[in-house]
Structure 1
């Protein structure tokens, strides 16, 4: 199929607003409408949403069933007074509880992923206070991880590039070695490396002070600079045992991976363990409305349920319109078998992307379901990374747009630090409704984009 390119705007217009920090290219088409996996700009160009917006459009764009649910709820009431309950919130929480691991039955709704993670950290801290461990306040996370953009979630993230302007305001929480095949010592098996990484967690808990660590916060699928990596089940089982042994809560950050993205409702299901707390966002509403959530286990809920109450709250927490959206999104995920499609079509996407590995810049593509991430370098024979002066990422995004592909950017760039050496991430995370034929079209356009991009960079 021939790929045609229409005229694109040559430069971003100053509209009096700050551009998104992940938007690195030099022009910015104006979106007019969206449908399914496609975006349409004001000039009539059509783009495949190759990254599902910010790795969040699980359902697909422009679904009239969601629009109808929003309209119906807004006609009834658009906001619920804090002293009252409301049916949309209750129905959504009930639906979520049915697909969570069995021990997690209590859900607190918020307005997005960063709010969810910060809420989880506060819940962990208050739980320890209520159960007689007031010294437990530190949150252990992984080097080079990503958990959000509030001050607390930035402190929890191991991402120096986003922290550098705000360091005096951030808690200095312990960081541990995350599992990744790229930082594994030579000659060590994947399983032994997984146990070694888990051992690093236990040592960190010990040196931080046994009575000071409240929780270990981690993502089941790499979404920071560890993009697309899944640790073996043995790692997660070891982590679960370590957390139990030291009375440290395990917080599973599913903001990116949840609601079908990896071919399961939640990615932690791949490993056969149950965390104490799960955070949710992004695909929870497929971004039809701002929505996030925190689920806690019955053990964690017990001291709160006895009358202490959670000292926390936001004006829009449990917003009825957002809850109605989340409820309808879950219905459609089930009715349209999108989780099954994520698993099946995700494997097909991997197979098609493997055909692109002849490109000199594409190291590999990894992931699970329809969460696939490619790694781009200047020379994969020598693993030479791009320099900032190459403007490689902005060129890639611009050329992708000219070939009808919209990709999500990243604040990471190439990673050169010893704990995590990686090239540029390329997020292949389309809506879960994508078909095999549409995957073929996406990969064909990506093939052409890579060829043009490599030529512009002088890579061969």
Structure 2
């Protein structure tokens, strides 16, 4: 099948790649510009990735300066940029989490975290601990091991015979909360699904539990109560199970704090990060490790792992510049200010009959799109409805580029409810830009709803 876009660009020689019909020419701040001169709001910052906006002067300067000295050196040599970045991460990480292992992206970060968990238990004489528990509908990456943690049939079904059959449990969901229970009470009950799973599989076989701070799948953007995470922490501690927080999306400021778990009263044993640490100007990710876990490796147990570009000097220079920009430009405060503005549109968005929920935190909003039902139930769209494609088309026509969790039929899961769409602009977005962007999204929603109701 031949694929052309925009001004006739042919993509046939790019393996299995079918982009939306826009060819990009440049980008600046929160805007993208195509080859026809049209301007689009980068409303999702890629997939929660471009936190600093496009063409940020601190980042472009850091790239130029590092290239003028060296871009890459042998991993065993003293790469000063690697040490610089790990020092800066230690300054902003939760207390008691000082060491970082650097890689090139989110999938590598999660893969690294689960290997650290395994080797940690082996080093302590608990070689039977090898299973990693995760949540149904979760997404943790696209390597075989990280896909084994993921619960999205759209991404895993072709590889099922090759993947590890690790246990999965239900995640926290406000939608499934029974009447009469508080969020805290419900959170504790849901967290105890982890305890049941550990008991069923035996604590002697379970190495770690991994979860995102923000829900996943049809509950993407749901922020659990503190009681949920306190119970998760208790269960992990009592069963010698490590808790890995996948903060590839939320890490480095997206929620208005350095990390999503900073909003809670408990800390994980490891934090996997990527995306925001480099604003995706260059591939960069990593794992922050607790002092307790790190101490085991410091006693002489080598970590059997590594990637050619882990700790790449150019990537580390950009990571340092991102942390510097967040600190010196007051971007955590800016995120919290724009968060208030963004969520002030919640009622306006919920007025749309196809918008079932608006949720999230910081500059991280999820719209859950559904088929309206006379009885108030949430019905999901069938693939033949082409709801997602029509939504993206309406947005582009209104000058908005928005990433969805499901773009493309090869990744479509079996949805239990609605279609989640992301709004996650760069931290540098100003008040006027936010207002214009949300007006355009509101207008596009009206047009999309009209198109979905037409035969």
Aligned-partner SS, 2:320: helix
1:11–1:28 Cα contact (<8 Å) kept: no
Q: Post-superposition shift, 1:221?
A: 1.1
Report the count of equivalent residues: 445
Offset of 1:265 from its aligned partner?
A: 0.2
Would you say 1:219 and 2:212 are equivalent positions? yes
State the Cα deviation string for residues 120-158 of structure 1 (Å, max 9, x = none): 000000000001100000000011111111110000111
Name stretches of at least 5 consecutive residues in structure 2 with no aligned partner: none
Structure 2 CA distance for partners of 1:328 and 1:436, relative to 1, 3 Å: same
Q: Partner residue of 2:313?
A: 320
**Which residue is equivalent to 1:406?**
401
Distance 1:223 1:278 in 2: 17
1:62 to 37, 49, 55: 55
**Match status 1:41 vs 2:34:** yes
| CA drift at 1:332 | 0.9
| SS of aligned partner of 1:164 | helix
Q: Equivalents in 1 of 2:147, 2:405: separation in Å?
A: 15
Change (3 A) 1:203 1:295: same
Deviates more, 1:379-388 or 1:285-294: 379-388
Deviation string 1:413-443 (CA, Å, 9 cap, x unpaired) is 5854xxxx32011101111111121111011
Aligned to 1:116: 109
| Distance of 1:362 and 1:257 partners within structure 2 | 24
TM-score, with normalisation over the residues of structure 1? 0.93
Instruction: Give the C-alpha shift of residue 358 in structure 1.
Output: 1.4
Show the counterpart of 2:97. 104
Q: Tell me how far 1:285 sits from its aligned partner.
A: 0.3
Spell out, residue by residue over 1:40-68, the C-alpha distance to the aligned partner (whole angstroms, 9 max, x if none).
Answer: 11100000001110111111111122112
- Aligned residues of 1:413 and 1:423 also touching (Cα < 8 A): no
**Equivalent of 1:181 in 170, 174, 177:** 174
The aligned residue for residue 271 of structure 1 is 264
2:431 corresponds to? 436
Judging changes above 3 Å, is the alpha-carbon distance between structure 1 residues 177 and 459 closer, same or farther for their aligned structure 2 residues? Answer: farther
Moved more, 109-118 or 57-66: 57-66
What TM-score, normalized by structure 2, do the two folds share?
0.94
**1:16 matches 2:13:** yes
Mind listing any 5+ residue stretches in structure 1 that lack a counterpart? 1-7
Farther off after superposition, 9-18 or 126-135: 9-18
Q: Distance in 2 between matches of 1:61 and 1:95?
A: 23
Match of 1:285 in 2: 278
